[in-house]
Structure 1
């Protein structure tokens, strides 16, 4: 049909039904696939407010766990909390007035939606949310049902509609939209609760497995072998216990997880474990997982074929192939990404893999030793570490003691490190007993690594052959350990690690009486930069416009950046710019 003579076709302006569809589309994007739908609800409420004018949104959820019912007005009532509000923030008690208690109880008890066209008149002025200015408000509250048991209501979703300018005409649409959001949210919440229960079960099983493994491998101190291992210096009860565990598991093919703070010598113990095993004549290969990107780590461990990616000019064997028949030591195993954890599972279970860009399946026989200073149980609980991989590597966990728990070993360790320094540099320096005594008074938050640096520094700078206590850095206020302790902001170790916790401040040797101890030294106060404060206008629309302009200015008038600053989507920011007639600056 020829339309040239019909003139221009008029396109209807986008009406309210289009904004409703846009709102549902944005909400579906936010909730679909979200690992924590509750955390996304403030953004959902922002969409409802920006596109449809539904403000002061809130979500109430029944409390989980075996909590007893409370008795109120002679009736048993299940307790609930306000899990999310439009302003964000942590979970709040039901008395915070985000949802009127009478409204929430009605929906929880009856399982039907509630729409009140005048909430102040029907439920009293206290039913209005805090900070609201216009008392002419309608409330829409819908139930979030458990589909597995439809009479059961697990939550209430509500929002407020201002009745100014004939706002009551939108209530039917508001009710339909909230019911749709509740249906999507129900699936997400139910999935989240199932995952949370599985995580709790996995963590409990992991703790039980660690306890049983510790009981199996731990040896009484009287039976611990007194002879040291190659490269391991110390005779304390803590180090003898670790040596006993190493000797017991060395003769097996069981994966071992070495755990301890940074600087406790995890690689040294991994080498000792390899030297005691039947694989001692084969290769010992080490990889620091934290030092490589995910793509490079995959190529390093599995190898790659020629031409598999840019720069792959020849075939390369991976570390698993190089360690065939021997031991592979993966340090900082807790730093690998979730995607690479899935790739690591197959070779740990089947001993099979393919090179990057290859199709031929290779089979290897490798003894795996891993190490970490992270709390893997916490990582499993928050979803940053796979539980199935955790159980693959944490068969026999061995916790390496920090140096502050084996202070009797500081003297022999310091002398051994000095002997190594002398051998490398052709010197003949030695420690005076006063220097050994001063070193033994330090807690060494950096453990053996910090002790090694301390010895190397004083040996390089000491003018005499004999190193005295006065030559140590801590006697000249140059101790790195003291600097770390001065800069820390809490009770945890400034170095970090698995077994960190509240620690005593290090004793840094004798000081002049006028000098305060490290605990009393505070960092100089740095004045905060002056930040211009804008006075919030009394009109909510004006305040919203002011906040939008400020965010756009901070983002260089880039809508995507401003959306991140405001916690909104770029579509919301674009709609708000049109709503407030704000001209976008172009550079």
Structure 2
């Protein structure tokens, strides 16, 4: 019994020490979660200080930071600092607010050595007690926040208090150890924030310089580029800008609706650059899963996973010295965005399953039809990656904004179809009129589809307006517009956004137009209200409205133009 009685206090002390260790680990873990996930670590320090207070009883926490660590202050004896955060607020406060004793802060800033005072009042006087302190028996901890590990430059001071009735050396040592680890986490978060800020500033300067150069040369070189067809002002502006930015190595983000020819313009940028003799490598990011995407971009080592029978180079290696085109960049996962950011920022990576760091020199051209700004605001796309790829944004105009290019594009597609099929088809004048009337939500890709389809089904050597799919109630775009809703869009626009749908009023049976036998056929002189009612009943599909009115699609088109009725798309 005597032995058990003697061992009980020893076991109790061991259990108490183990509990303190667990609490300390929990504090470090919670603090790391808060700081590593913060874009602004200073704004999160109040939460970290509250964790220290809740878990360990370290209260009245505060953080002091140099006002500007990069600026010189020759007129001051020491660099000025501010109280950047306390356990109550993250608003900047002057040193005189009392959150940290000025003598303590000056000592830690000057020496870079952590300080522990077991009795603040005895060493620094009653003024050193924090505001709203309960009692005067308090210990103080102040640890330096360095620029980086083992650096002599101290950027800040982390200070907390503990109320002590009977100071314990083991308790104080554990508190100091935890505070030192949290200061290290905070300094790493600060350093990363500063690197991102400097990198963003540099990228923005490069973007401004490149945009100025592009604007200075706009209009001076509008010579067509091979493969790009059109001479409208919209397309000439894009060509002039591409000619200027192609001479630089700045990343380019091609933006535009699906079918506007983003890959074609990416090839043009490569062909006009100094890298034209090097590889042009492309990859559609939306076509692969995250695992396959990582392998395709970075490559893999032999045996790195099941089926990896040999070493494989990734697209970054294959494009070394040249241009890498990443299409649908807005579709990659949030986790993979972090991996891609490192390569774009540092120019280095490791193959999957490898340990050797590889460096490449690659010009990045990306493309998307998504609204990346909206994705960044929602947290779906990393802001740092957005600033890395969107240095030179180039907006590609949709085909409906450059209708003057439709005849040239259509003729080019027909000539290609003739060469491939050994034919000699041609367009009638009214065929071009029909093409002009279409808004082409699928852009150039849809126009190519339309020309190829009508050429394959043409009844004679001359393609007339009556041969067009829209004149035969077989237009694919009309069906796509019908399927489009607020939540989804089968037509890949820059952003699906809000879709305005027309209000369809069902007509009473007595007045509803019909094409029943016995009724006279309508003509282009049909009344405006009756024409609008028929179009609304047909969902604004001209071919269906023509059947309801007993008219031909061409007559419907003429009637709409006569009454100046805008075609509603939905």
Shorter-normalised TM range: 0.5 to 0.7
Q: 1:455 to 1:33 in 2, by over 3 A?
A: farther
Which residue of 2 is the match for residue 460 of structure 1? 456
Aligned pairs for 1:207-356 (under 5 A) are 216=212, 219=215, 223-356=219-352
**How far apart are the structure 2 equivalents of 1:502 and 1:213?**
35
The SS at the match of 2:259 is coil
The SS at the match of 2:394 is strand
Q: 1:461 to 1:284 in 2, by over 3 A?
A: same
1:413 correspondence with 2:353: no
The SS at the match of 2:324 is strand
- Deviation digits for residues 464-508 of structure 1, max 9, x if unmatched? 1211111000001111111122233359965132266678999xx
- Deviation digits for residues 246-292 of structure 1, max 9, x if unmatched? 00001111110000011110000001111101111111111000000
Alignment partner for residue 480 of structure 2, among 456, 481, 484? 484
Alignment partner for residue 365 of structure 2, among 362, 365, 369? 369
Q: Which runs of 5+ in 2 are unaligned?
A: 1-31, 35-85, 91-192, 503-521, 542-570
Q: CA deviation at 1:210?
A: 12
Q: CA deviation at 1:427?
A: 1.9
The SS at the match of 1:258 is strand
- Deviation digits for residues 125-150 of structure 1, max 9, x if unmatched? xxxxxxxxxxxxxxxxxxxxx95249
- Deviation digits for residues 206-242 of structure 1, max 9, x if unmatched? 9x99995795365389825332111100111110110
The SS at the match of 1:404 is helix
Which residue of 2 is the match for residue 390 of structure 1? 386
Q: 1:519 to 1:389 in 2, by over 3 A?
A: farther
**How far apart are the structure 2 equivalents of 1:355 and 1:234?**
42
Alignment partner for residue 521 of structure 1, among 529, 535, 538? 538
Which residue of 1 is the match for residue 421 of structure 2? 425
Aligned pairs for 1:111-130 (under 5 A) are none
The SS at the match of 2:215 is coil
Indicate the RMSD between aligned Cα atoms, in angstroms: 4.2
- Deviation digits for residues 371-403 of structure 1, max 9, x if unmatched? 001111111111111111111100000000011
Q: 1:518 to 1:214 in 2, by over 3 A?
A: farther
Q: CA deviation at 1:33?
A: 8.0
The SS at the match of 1:342 is helix
**Normalised TM-score (structure 2):** 0.53
Q: 1:497 to 1:221 in 2, by over 3 A?
A: farther
Which residue of 2 is the match for residue 72 of structure 1? none
Which residue of 2 is the match for residue 380 of structure 1? 376
Instruction: Say whether the 8 Å CA contact 1:213–1:395 is kept in structure 2.
Output: no
**How far apart are the structure 2 equivalents of 1:147 and 1:345?**
34
Q: CA deviation at 1:432?
A: 1.5
The SS at the match of 1:328 is strand
1:148 correspondence with 2:88: yes
**How far apart are the structure 2 equivalents of 1:422 and 1:501?**
39
Q: 1:222 to 1:336 in 2, by over 3 A?
A: closer
The SS at the match of 2:253 is strand
Moved over 3 A (4+): 208-215, 217-222, 489-494, 499-506, 510-520
Q: 1:229 to 1:492 in 2, by over 3 A?
A: farther
Q: 1:281 to 1:220 in 2, by over 3 A?
A: closer
**How far apart are the structure 1 equivalents of 2:477 and 2:205?**
36
**How far apart are the structure 1 equivalents of 2:319 and 2:523?**
51
Q: CA deviation at 1:511?
A: 10
The SS at the match of 1:223 is coil
Which residue of 2 is the match for residue 497 of structure 1? 493
- Deviation digits for residues 416-468 of structure 1, max 9, x if unmatched? 11112222222221212211121011110111111111011101111212111
Q: 1:478 to 1:221 in 2, by over 3 A?
A: farther
Q: Which runs of 5+ in 1 are unaligned?
A: 1-31, 35-145, 151-197, 525-587
- Deviation digits for residues 138-178 of structure 1, max 9, x if unmatched? xxxxxxxx95249xxxxxxxxxxxxxxxxxxxxxxxxxxxx
Instruction: Say whether the 8 Å CA contact 1:486–1:518 is kept in structure 2.
Output: no
**How far apart are the structure 2 equivalents of 1:320 and 1:452?**
32
Q: CA deviation at 1:519?
A: 5.3
- Deviation digits for residues 33-55 of structure 1, max 9, x if unmatched? 89xxxxxxxxxxxxxxxxxxxxx
